[in-house]
Structure 1
Amino acid sequence: MALQAVAGSKIYIGTRVAPKGTVALSDFTAQESEWTEIKGWTQSGSLGDTQNLISQDFIDENRTRQIKGTRVGASMENTFAPMPSDPGQMKFIAAIDSCSPYAFKVEWGAGCASEGEVTISVANPGIVTWPDGHGLEAGSPVMFTPTGGDLPTGLLPDTVYYVVEPITPTTFAVAATPGGAAIETTVAATATSITATAQPAGSTDLFFGLAMPGAKQGGAANTPLLRTWSIQVDSNIVEI
C-alpha cells in the first residue's frame, strides 16, 4: 500500500440535495459541473463513520453485553483561513443558512495527481495511450481535457471516467462507472492535444453533509486568524 499525501488535497461543495442516508456514485453524476472548491483549507478533520453501541446489563453474567447499533457520520471539523470573496467559502456560508444537506467532495493529494498528454484510439473499446506510463489501476478516476478541438465521439471533456481493462503499463480503457463497460469511441478526435488528469483509486471521497457554523480563532500577535467550519456527514462515504 502506497502512502498518500494530505498536502495538495482539495475540498469541494456542490449543490443542495435531498436528504439521503445511503448514497451511490450515481447520486453525484449531476454534480460534475457544480463543484466549487472551498479555498483557504488549512486543517482537515476526520472523515468516516462511527457506530452506536447498544448495551444491556445481565445480572446472571455480572456483565454488560453489547451489540452494534446504527452507523452515524462523524463531524468533519475543518479549519480555513477566512477569505470573504472566495466563491467556495461564500457557498459554504449560504449552506450554513440552509436546513438541507449539500453534496461534498474531497480529493486527497490532488496536488500530486498524474497529468500527461495522451492519445485515444477509435475502437471498441477506445484505448487511451499514455506514452510515458500511467501508473494507474482499475477504478482510478481520470478526466480528459482537449486543446484546439474535441475528444473522440463517446467521451466528454472534463468528465470523470474510470480506468478499466484492458490495462497495460502505457494503455487502458475507460468506463462511465468503476468496473463498468468500456466505452466505444466512434469518431476520431479533432483536438490538437489531449491532457489526461488522474487520481489513484480510492483517493476521492463523496458524501452528503450539513454545513455547520463555527468560530473564528485568534491568539497571539503572530497567530493567523482562522475559522473552524464543520461538515456533519449525513450519508455513507463513496470512495472512488
Structure 2
Amino acid sequence: MALQAVNGSKIYIGTRVAPKGTVTLADFTAQETEWDEIGGWTQSGSLGDTQNLITQPFIGEGRERQIKGTRIGGSMENTFAPDSNDPGQIKFKAAIESCSPYAFKVEWGAGCASEGEVTISVATPGVITWPDGHGLEAGSPVMFTPEGGNMPTGLTADTVYYVVEAGLTPTTFSVSATPGGGAIATTLAATATSITATAQPAGQTDLFFGLAMPGAKQGGAANTALLRTWAIAVDSNIVEI
C-alpha cells in the first residue's frame, strides 16, 4: 500500500454548468482550458458520498430493519487564506452569488506528480518513452508540454490523456483519449525540441459539480492568521481518474 500525501494538493474551479446529478469524464472535457486554481488552500474538507438509510420497524420481528436510500455528496468544508487578487478566489466569490453549480477538480498530492522529458514515436499506436522510468499504471492521467514546436500529429499539447494497459513497460507506454479507450496513433513527427510529460497516479484526481457556498472569516489571537471557510456542496457523483 502506497501512502498518498495531502501536501501539494490543488483545488480548481471551472465554469458554471447545467445541474446534473450523474456526471462522466466527458462532462469535464470542455473544462480543460477553463480551470483556475483556488489559491491559499490551508485545510481540505472531506470529499465523498454518504448514503441515507431507510428504516422500518416490524412488529412481528421486534426489530427495525434498514435498506439503503439515496446518496448525497455532502459538503466539502475548505479553509483558505483570503487573497483578493487570486483568480480562483475571485471566481469562487462570483460562484457564490450564482444559483448554478460549477465544475470543480481536486488533484491530490499534485506537488509530487511525476515529470520528465519524453520522446514520442510515429507509429500505430504512438509509443511514449520515459527513459528514467515513469512509475505509472494503466489509467493514470498524463499531459504533454512541447518546447520550441508542436506535438506529433494525433496528440495535443496540455491535454489530459490516459495510460493504456497494452504495451505498458517500466519506461514506455501509449495513451488514449479516455480511460480504458483505444491507443492513439501518431502520424507526423513532433517539431518540438523537447517534450515534457506530467502525470498523476491513477485515482488521485476527483472531478465533480458543486455549489459554491459562503463562509465566515476566522479570527483569533494576535498570532493567528486570518482565514476564511468556503464550502462546496457536492451536487453530483465524483469522477475519479
Same fold (TM over 0.5): yes
The match for 1:205 is 206
Following superposition, the deviation at residue 101 of structure 1 comes to 0.3
Aligned partner of 1:158: which letter? D
The match for 1:185 is 186
- Separation of aligned partners in 2, 1:84 and 1:204: 27
Fraction of identical pairs, as percent? 84
Query: What value does the CA root-mean-square deviation take over the aligned residues?
Result: 0.5
Aligned partner of 1:137: which letter? E
The match for 2:65 is 65
Aligned partner of 2:167: which letter? P
The match for 2:117 is 117
Following superposition, the deviation at residue 59 of structure 1 comes to 1.6
Question: What is the SS of the residue equivalent to 1:14?
Answer: strand
The match for 1:105 is 105
Question: What is the SS of the residue equivalent to 1:168?
Answer: coil
Following superposition, the deviation at residue 191 of structure 1 comes to 0.2
- 1:57-91: per-residue Cα shift (whole Å, max 9, x none)? 11222211111000001100000000011000000
The match for 1:43 is 43
The match for 1:225 is 226
Following superposition, the deviation at residue 122 of structure 1 comes to 0.1
Aligned counterparts, 1:1-240, within 5 A: 1-164=1-164, 165-240=166-241
- 1:6-50: per-residue Cα shift (whole Å, max 9, x none)? 000000000000000000000000000000000000000000000
Following superposition, the deviation at residue 239 of structure 1 comes to 0.2
Gaps of 5+ in 2: none
Following superposition, the deviation at residue 184 of structure 1 comes to 0.3
Aligned partner of 1:72: which letter? I
- Separation of aligned partners in 2, 1:166 and 1:214: 49
- 1:150-206: per-residue Cα shift (whole Å, max 9, x none)? 000000000000000211110000000011010000000000000000000000000
Runs of 4+ with >6 A deviation: none
- Separation of aligned partners in 2, 1:63 and 1:135: 52
- Separation of aligned partners in 2, 1:235 and 1:185: 36
Following superposition, the deviation at residue 227 of structure 1 comes to 0.2
Aligned partner of 2:114: which letter? S
What is the count of residue pairs matched by the alignment? 240
- Separation of aligned partners in 2, 1:182 and 1:127: 9
Question: What is the SS of the residue equivalent to 2:4?
Answer: coil
Gaps of 5+ in 1: none
Aligned partner of 1:29: which letter? T
- Separation of aligned partners in 1, 2:123 and 2:233: 45
- Separation of aligned partners in 2, 1:169 and 1:55: 51
- Separation of aligned partners in 1, 2:240 and 2:200: 12
- 1:96-132: per-residue Cα shift (whole Å, max 9, x none)? 0000000000000000000000000000000000000
Question: What is the SS of the residue equivalent to 2:174?
Answer: strand
